[in-house]
Amino acid sequence: MKHLKTIAFFSFLAFAILPCCGPKTPEYKVKLNNANGVAPELVFHRYEDVLFNLDTARFQEALMEVQDQYQPFLGGDLTDPLAVKYLRDFAVDTFSVALYNKVKKAYPDLSEVEEMLREVYRHFNYYYPNISLPTQVYTCVSGIDPNVPPVIFFDDALVISLDWYLEGDDIYERIGMPQYRAERVAKAGLAKDVGQQIYLDYVQRPLKRNNLLEEMVEAGRMCFFVEAMYPELTDEVLLGYTSSQLQWAEDYEGDLWADMVGNQCLYASDLEVYRTFLADGPFTNEYSHEAPPRLGEFVGLHIIRSFVTANPDAALPELMGARDLQAIFQDSHYKPKK
């Protein structure tokens, strides 16, 4: 696979000759912003406030007193000494307590969380009025456990681990999280993760994908769904890119596409091609240390944006439910400029 050439002079000109006013908001974005559904009444419960303030001298008894109100966390057998010990150990652990204190500092109240969730729920209701999402919302501290998703939907509850959204905190690098992942942590990432989980749990249908093109279209479709649920998300947060990585992808989108086509990657299904364009990491080594990871996801999102621009009457549920990913690509008329 040939690598993209960096042309420093023209890159300089691109930054030097900037327009004096901001770009016009794309029509598809205007439509997303104007999608006004009805947000249900959400009820919030701060489990972290309960757990980390229980009387440790009578911990088991105190747990039982709040068990009914916090079933997503305390639905097990609280007469089991091992279960109670596990919860008590977590509640008094110095790292867990430190995380709780950080969460309370970043989220002294849940006004930001409530606003984001109401926006996501409002947009979802506009497109899917016949699907009800849980209205009982629980926040917690999970210990930044990589085995526990930061957002989980149960039948009657939404659980959010707030310690995954400590924007600007160095705790993530201190516990050994790769720097590129730590840099992505943002409060707005909560809205992204909720939207993504809604897509996976309520919208996506099992669909076999046979090649890189179909993988990219599906990845882009999920990204666009998240954007539709919370249109004010920046592309940096939506894609998990830094500003410079996003700029690189936008600058070289046409060259990247030409490279994919010229090297017959679109209909390839080998692991090496998938790894190059879909694997996460700090960058895409095959191109440049400035190139972001998951370039296939970036291209896929732009294919979907091209589709909704070329097909303005296509409804979001129709797009999300379409099973012919090749047809979506063809109807998008995607052709980035070189």
pLDDT mean over 4-20: 38
For 202-224, what is each residue's pLDDT tens digit? 999 999 999 999 999 999 999 99
Answer whether residue 3 shows pLDDT above 80.
no
Answer whether residue 58 shows pLDDT above 60.
yes
Contact between 239 and 298 under an 8 Å Cβ cutoff? The reply is: yes
Residues in the chain: 338
Give the pLDDT confidence score for residue 146 in this predicted structure. 87
Band the pLDDT of 134: cuts 50, 70, 90. Answer: very high
Band the pLDDT of 166: cuts 50, 70, 90. Answer: very high
Band the pLDDT of 21: cuts 50, 70, 90. Answer: low
Answer whether residue 47 shows pLDDT above 90.
yes
Band the pLDDT of 338: cuts 50, 70, 90. Answer: confident
Question: Over pLDDT 90: what percentage of the chain?
Answer: 90
Average per-residue pLDDT for the chain: 93
pLDDT mean over 61-75: 96
Give the pLDDT confidence score for residue 193 in this predicted structure. 98
Which range has the worst mean pLDDT, 45-54, 147-156, 274-283, 313-322?
147-156
Answer whether residue 130 shows pLDDT above 50.
yes
Q: Provide CB contacts within 8 A for 138, sequence distance 6+.
A: 44, 45, 46, 47, 70, 72, 73, 157, 158, 159, 160
Answer whether residue 15 shows pLDDT above 50.
no
Give the pLDDT confidence score for residue 147 in this predicted structure. 86
